[in-house]
A = this chain, B = another copy of it.
Amino acid sequence: MRDDDFIRGNIPMTKSEIRAISLSKLLWKKNLIVYDIGAGTGSVSVEAALAVPAGRVFAFEYREEGCNLIRRNAKKFGVGNITVVRGMAPETFQGLPVPDCALIGGSGGFLEEIMDRLFVMNPEIRLVLNIISLETLARAVSYFENRGLEAEIVSVTVAKAEKAGKYHLMKGQNPVYVISVGGTGQFHVDRR
């Protein structure tokens, strides 16, 4: 889905290419329980919700503006299987269904606590992280190393052409680290 299709406020949005890569590493069938942590505008939540029509997406976001955007985007795309949860993860996980997988786009500084909690809820959870700061990258790498988990770590750098007169100028986007780890049964991705 295109970035321009989403209603956007002042909240940074995961760009479409990063969304596509992240969801391809996160989802493998249609009835998953998905946590979208630091859901922002809800672009990931909406696209994930469309990909798991028999499942459910929980969108965790602590900013009121973000929660409103997620609801508006869900409505715009006619998506009924998103639940917006306002507050600070991981305490907002309390009482919710056990996730099959989780995308962490923002952690409010509680990265380790969030991952600890997720692994307690489901030791075989599939996790994908979108990281833009060197500090969070270091903490994530260190976390998985300490747990003996072999994570896949990729950095993705996208440039997009903009028209300037008759020229296409390539405009650089910010690089994103996409880390994925854990899960079983992802061998055969099958969304039929």
We find that the number of chain A residues with CB closer than 8 angstroms to chain B is: 56
Chain A, range 123-181, C-beta contacts under 8 Å to B: 132-138, 141-142, 150, 152-161, 163-164, 166-175
A47-B133 in contact (CB<8A): no
Residue A77, interface by CB 8 Å: yes
A113 to chain B, nearest CB (A): 17
The reply to whether the CB of A7 lies closer than 8 angstroms to some CB of chain B is no
Q: How many copies does the complex hold?
A: 4
**Knowing A154-B160, A161-B152 touch, does A174 contact B174 (C-beta < 8 A)?**
no
- Interface residues of chain A: helix, strand, loop or mixed (majority): mixed
The answer to whether A133 touches B167 (Cβ under 8 A) is yes
- A190: interface (CB < 8 Å): yes
Which of A13-21, A34-42, A57-65, A95-103 interfaces with chain B? A13-21
Nearest CB in chain B: distance from A22 CB, A: 9
Q: Chain A residues in contact with chain B, CB under 8 A?
A: 1-2, 5, 16-17, 19-21, 23-25, 47, 50-51, 53, 77-78, 132-138, 141-142, 150, 152-161, 163-164, 166-175, 186-192
12 contacts between A and B (CB under 8 A): A1-B24, A16-B25, A19-B24, A20-B25, A50-B190, A50-B191, A135-B141, A153-B170, A154-B161, A156-B157, A159-B175, A170-B175
Nearest first, the 5 A-B pairs at minimum CB distance are A138-B138, A20-B24, A172-B172, A53-B192, A153-B161
